[in-house]
């Protein structure tokens, strides 16, 4: 059965020990698919015992805490004489191209990066045995949430978003829901302003999705404190945590 490995679970303004956004989906056949690649992703891939060149990278949007790890992955791919396959929101791919030029690895984009923009609402196969559906997220910049199917298991990854009925509909009954909890309870106005989900709001999301497992993600300044009455199991993220979807 597939597993999800936590590489980083913080945001731009959180405890640096949390790391920035990065998850790895590992298939039965050993394929590794990254969900976002914040700063430090290359380091944590190796630290967690995974290949430092993934088979595919899926980017939800272009904010730095989700893409700043890409230049290092591109440099590593170039060093190995291989290509880095990037899927995701078209604006995220464009942001990465600009980021690579700004960090003076831009000449490697066409040579090293194999870019695949995804359109919302269409299932695409990113590697053999793994298909992905992109859902428009509710965030200040163009962004996606994703539902992935691998080995008969469904993983729903919110990326950065407000509570979103469209994503909730597609995520319903997921084996694993990974949903951002970016803002403390009592600061819903801040969540609304910056396009995030608060600790208080996540309870309604969980009730409507009813996942088998739930992992909070994209912590704000400190670890999230979630108090919900629900039947699902809450998995607390930590570096190199492996969630087996048996």
Residue 232 pLDDT: 72
pLDDT band at 108 (very low <50, low <70, confident <90, very high): confident
Residue 16: pLDDT above 80?
yes
C-alpha to C-alpha distance for 24 and 3, rounded to whole angstroms: 8
Q: Give the residue-averaged pLDDT of 103-122.
A: 90
Residue 23 pLDDT: 98
User: Cα 87 to chain center, whole Å?
Assistant: 12
Residue 202: pLDDT above 70?
yes
Return the higher-pLDDT residue of 246 and 178: 178
Residue 186 pLDDT: 82
Share of the chain above pLDDT 90, in %: 82
Could you tell me the fold of the domain covering 3-244? Metallo-beta-lactamase; Chain A (3.60.15)
Residue 136: pLDDT above 80?
yes
Residue 124 pLDDT: 98
Residue 147: pLDDT above 70?
yes
Q: Give the residue-averaged pLDDT of 101-124.
A: 91
Question: Per-domain residue ranges for the chain?
Answer: 3-244
Residue 185: pLDDT above 90?
no
Residue 208: pLDDT above 80?
yes
Q: Give the residue-averaged pLDDT of 61-86.
A: 96
Residue 80: pLDDT above 70?
yes
* Report field, pTM of the whole predicted structure over 0.85: yes
Please tell me the number of Cα atoms within 13 Å of 21 on its side-chain side.
33
Residue the block writes with tokens 């936590």: 6
Q: Give the residue-averaged pLDDT of 80-84.
A: 94
Q: Which of 45-59, 67-81, 225-239 has the lowest mean pLDDT?
A: 225-239
- Extended beta strands in the chain, E state: 3-8, 22-26, 32-37, 56-59, 84-88, 113-117, 123-127, 130-136, 144-150, 153-157, 176-180, 213-217, 233-234, 242-244
Residue 29: pLDDT above 80?
yes
Residue 13 zone, left/alpha/beta (φ > 0; ψ -120 to 50; rest)? beta
pLDDT band at 183 (very low <50, low <70, confident <90, very high): confident
Residue 152 pLDDT: 96
Residue the block writes with tokens 């607390």: 236
pLDDT band at 231 (very low <50, low <70, confident <90, very high): low
Residue 111: pLDDT above 90?
no
Residue 215 pLDDT: 96
Q: For the chain, give the mean pLDDT.
A: 94
Return the higher-pLDDT residue of 148 and 228: 148
């Amino acid at each position: 059965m597939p597993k999800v490995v936590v590489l980083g679970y913080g945001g731009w303004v959180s405890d640096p020990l949390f790391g920035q956004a990065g998850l790895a989906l590992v298939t039965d056949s050993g394929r590794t698919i990254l969900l976002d690649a914040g700063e430090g992703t290359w380091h944590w891939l190796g630290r967690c015992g995974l290949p430092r060149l993934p088979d595919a990278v899926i980017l939800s949007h272009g904010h730095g805490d989700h893409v700043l790890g890409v230049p290092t992955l591109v440099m590593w791919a170039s060093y190995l004489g291989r290509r880095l396959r990037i899927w995701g929101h078209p604006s995220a791919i464009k942001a990465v191209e600009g980021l690579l030029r700004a960090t003076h690895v831009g000449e490697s984009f066409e040579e090293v990066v194999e870019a695949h923009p995804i359109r919302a609402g269409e299932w695409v196969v990113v590697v053999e045995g793994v298909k992905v559906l992109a859902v428009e997220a509710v965030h200040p910049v163009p962004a996606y949430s994703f539902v992935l199917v691998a080995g008969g298991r469904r993983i729903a990854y919110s990326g950065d978003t407000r509570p979103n009925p469209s994503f909730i509909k597609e995520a319903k009954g997921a084996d694993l829901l990974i949903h951002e909890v970016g803002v403390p309870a009592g600061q819903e106005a801040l969540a609304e302003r910056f396009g995030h989900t608060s600790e208080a709001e996540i309870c309604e999301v969980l009730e409507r999705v009813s996942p088998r497992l739930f992992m909070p993600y994209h912590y704000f300044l400190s670890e999230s404190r979630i108090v919900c009455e629900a039947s699902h199991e809450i998995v607390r993220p930590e570096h190199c945590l492996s969630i087996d979807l048996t």
